[in-house]
Structure formats: C-alpha cells, structure tokens
Chains A and B, each alone.
Chain A
Amino acid sequence: MIEEIGTTEQGELVVNLGPQHPSTHGVLHLVVTLSGETIKKVEPHLGYIHRSIEKMCESLSYRQFIYVTSRMDYLSSHINNHGCALCVEKGMQIEVPPRAKVIRVLMDELTRLASHQLWWGAMAMDVGALTPFFYAFREREAINDIMEETCGARLTMNYMAPGGVAFDLHPDFQRKVKDFLAFFRTKIDEYDELVTDNIIFQRRMEGIGYLSSEDAISYGCTGPTARGSGVSCDIRKSVPYEVYSQVQFEEVLETGGDCFARYNVRMGEMRQSISIIEQLIDNIPGGEFLAKTKAVLKLPKGEFYSKVETARGEFGVYIISEGGTTPYRIKFRSPGFSNLSALDHMARGHKIGDLVAIMGTLDLVIPDIDR
C-alpha cells in the first residue's frame, strides 16, 4: 500500500527518499516512516527504470538477447552475458573450447574487481568520505582500458557469445593485466589504510543493519550480502562453472551480519579475485576461442536454467523454449531485487542517517532490480 506523505495519526512522519536522491544511486524510491529520527518502516517503490527486458527478449533470437542483459546490472555486464551464454550452451549442448573458458573466467573476475572498486568508492561517499571515490575510479579506469582494448567497449561489452567469446584476447592483454595486478596490490592496502581502519567509518558501520543468517536465507539474499551473515552461497564454489573448480580460492565468509561484515566480505573478495586472475593469467590454453555453431540457433523444446555468481549475488537465467528461434519466455533472477527486500528488515530501529550506509552495503544497482 502506498503511504500518504505527511504525518500519521500516531505522529509518525512519512517522507520520500528518492527517486532523485543522490544516495540511492539511481531511481530508487523509498517511502520511509519515521518516528523522530528512528526508522519505523522502509517501503521501496520500484518501476522507474523498468524497460521490460524479459518481454523484449522473447522477440530476440538466442544470439541477440545476450546484449540486452548488459543493460541490467551494468557493473557486471560480462557476468550477466556469461550466464545467458551458459544457458544457451546448456540447451544446445555446445562444447566451449578450453581457451574460451579461461578467458571468460578472467573477464568475470576483472569485472568483479571493477564492480567492487566502484562499490567501495560509492560506499565511502555514502557515509561522507568523498576522496575514496576518486581513488576507486582511478583503479577502475585501468580495468576499463583493458576491457576496451579486448572487448571494444567499457561498460556494455556483449563479449560472451554462445560457444565462447566474440574476439580473441588482445596481444597486450596478459602484460597489461599483470601490470594492473602489481599496481592494484599496493592500492588495495591503501584502501584499508584510508577507509577500513578509519575510526569514524568503523563506528558508522559496526552494529548497523544487522541481518541474521536465517533472515538472509528467508529473504533470498545472495552474494556478499548473505555471506556477511555467514551464509555460504557462492555459486563459484557450490556449482562450479567453467574453470572455477580448478582454481584455488576461498569463499569469504563473515559472521557479523552487520554493515562492516558485508564491507569486509567485499574487500576480501577483491583479494580473492586477484588471486584467481594470477593463477589463470599465465595458463591460458591455446586453440579456438569460439566453438563452431550453426548460423541460426534453435533450442530444443524444454526448460533450461543456469546461474552464475555476479558481484552482487546469484544471477539466474531461465529459458522456456518451444523449439523455435526465439525463446517462449525468459526469466532473469537478479540478485539486487532479493537483496533489496531485506532492506526494511535491516533498517528498522536505526537512525535515518544509517539507512544510506545500509543501502551502500547492499550494493544496489537499480536497473538490475527493475529490469
């Protein structure tokens, strides 16, 4: 029910936060019920950036619909494309060449790094520190340049295709990634020095927005949001796809359940991503980067589901095929939507200023929630 803006009979204040508020990182509209400064209720209103992507996909062929998913969670466009490509490959039973598998994982991890860097900057900005935002963008720029060289785009890549990847790696790719990792290893320690160890930042995060592991499961939270509450839910570990079963990495788990725990999970994930890239960058097998497929892809009649771990959680693609060249129905399970549903539970009882910090640790991307 949409609340009236104003004062209720109990003397509670109902105010709008967004949809044009800078701290909501997009067109998210929250109707907040306040008693003094204390939050009684948070009600997200969605639909401001709904583009009906699922319906659009029904009229696009299996090669064409992948590019649309870059526009959902634009910070992890590679991983979204990856999930779609995996689902089509599952239906068509296409064998992906080993080189493409490694390239895909490398790109996924670089995307995860870039996404977490942006989140780190925006998170610090949300709680009042402006400078980290510029540092985060400086490092992210290096990844964007690498992406631009190999994929031809900086944000909406459309690099993953059914059967592999669209182009081979750029000859400079390995050297540039190694340079970047050497550079970023020192910078991530600076991140800790600048923000993680900062006493003001810690006091604003510790004990704020508590989410128990039971609640995280029942709200359907995935990704760093759930792992901050001690729920082991990393798709890369539980259902390994591509070469994730062959690389050594840890699933970062924190048991605190508060904002600082979720923050630490993401910081830990950045270090794990660096380690995954380091293991793979010298071991890219040769050979084909794109499997030979038919010109027109036709999925057999049936239902197919595949899931990948994006920077925000589990991204699922569910295709129902009637045997034609276009899907009968596509459903995307986006991580942001489920994570947002826990916001009301987390924010109740906290002060209005903490709402922004809680939203920051959820790492919301609004086009991903609305689709």
Chain B
Amino acid sequence: MAFLRTYLSDIYHGARSLLKGMKLTGYYFTHRKEIITQQYPDNKAEMKLPERFRGEVVMLHDENNEHACTGCTACELACPNGTIKIITKIETSPDGKKKKALDTFIYHLELCTMCNLCIQACPTDAIKMAQNFEHSVYDRSQLTKNLNKPGSKIREGVE
C-alpha cells in the first residue's frame, strides 16, 4: 500500500513539474512581445552600435584633409600582432627645418584582434575605432589598408 502511495504521488508530482514548465513555454509561445530576436540585416537602418564598439582602426581626417598623426610609431610598438606598419619621411618646412612626418600608415585588418592598445597608446588621438563590422571581402589583399588619405598632411600645431 505504501509502495502504491509513493508511486502515485511520484506520478502526480512528476506530471505537475512537467506542466509547470510547459506553462512557461506556452506563455512565451503566446506572447509575441517578449521575443527579442532582431532581424538582421533587415534592421540595418535602425541598428545602432555603441560608440565604443571596436570594429576597425581608422584615422581621423578633417575637412582640409589633415590628420593628427606625427609618425611617432607608438601604436606600432603597442600592437601585439604586427598589425600596424608606419613608414615615415623627412619633410623640409618652408623655413628650412627638417622634420619627420608620416608617409604611409599601413593597417593589416586581417591580423587585427581589436584589442584597442594602439588607440590607447596614441599621444595625439590620431586614430580611433570605427563601428563598421562587416569586413568580408573576396580577396585577402583588400584587407591591407592605407589609413592616411592620399595627399593628406599633418594638422598645424600637432607635435
């Protein structure tokens, strides 16, 4: 008799626990408002990534095509993967002074791990992280980029 009572109570409690779970599943099945799935890429227009999101390294240029990079190679030294290569040149200013300046800022996106160490190392805030995250291309060579735009030069007053 005791065996039968335990057996029946096991069945009752077991069935109850299953129904409790099913109730919750049923609730979410009937309440569409609780669904948080985003329909990417249909929602691309309204999708907004946070300001600090790390997508790729870009160099900031102002309207006169001027940047703030002095070619000090602090970012190149800070990078753990050899993602950044900076080529400098010697420029002669109108008053005859010779000065080191940036020639090419080579950025290997295919090697970058978005660790943000180069941005933190930059003394003049010349580079920053952009929010672009769709990096697929058909050829790997397209991932090697020149960050300084053609014809750009250093902004006046940046040392």
Contact = CB atoms under 8 A, between A and B. Distances in A.
B144 interface: no
Contacts of A63: 78, 117
B21 interface: yes
B115 A67 contact: yes
14 contacts: A64-B78, A67-B80, A67-B115, A148-B49, A148-B52, A148-B53, A151-B52, A152-B54, A167-B52, A170-B50, A194-B25, A195-B21, A197-B20, A198-B18
A190 interface: yes
Q: Closest 4 CB pairs between A and B?
A: A199-B14, A152-B52, A64-B80, A67-B115
Contacts of B14: 199-200
A297 to B, nearest CB: 12
A166 B24 contact: no
B36 interface: yes
Nearest to B120: A166
Of A138, A156, A167, A199, most buried by chain B (CB within 10 Å of CB) is A199
B156 to A, nearest CB: 26
Contacts, number: 68
Contact of A197 (B17, B50, B114, B115): B17
A20 interface: no
A12 interface: no
Given A63-B78, A190-B24, A158 B115 contact: yes
Interface in A157-212: 158, 161, 166-167, 170, 190, 193-195, 197-200
B32 to A, nearest CB: 14
Interface of A: 60, 63-65, 67-68, 131, 135, 138, 141, 148-153, 156, 158, 161, 166-167, 170, 190, 193-195, 197-200
B117 A64 contact: yes
B148 to A, nearest CB: 24
Interface in B77-100: 78-80
B116 A152 contact: yes
Contact of B52 (A65, A67, A135, A149): A149
B21 A194 contact: yes
A199 B16 CA distance: 9
Interface in B110-159: 113-117, 120, 129
Contacts of A156: 113-115
A152 B129 contact: yes
A197 B79 CA distance: 50
B13 interface: yes
A166 B129 CA distance: 14
Contacts of B129: 152
Contact of A138 (B24, B36, B50, B117): B36
Of A67, A68, A141, most buried by chain B (CB within 10 Å of CB) is A67
Given A166-B116, A194-B21, 18 more contacts: A63-B78, A64-B117, A65-B80, A67-B117, A131-B25, A141-B36, A148-B49, A148-B53, A149-B52, A153-B54, A156-B115, A158-B115, A166-B120, A194-B20, A194-B25, A198-B17, A198-B21, A199-B18
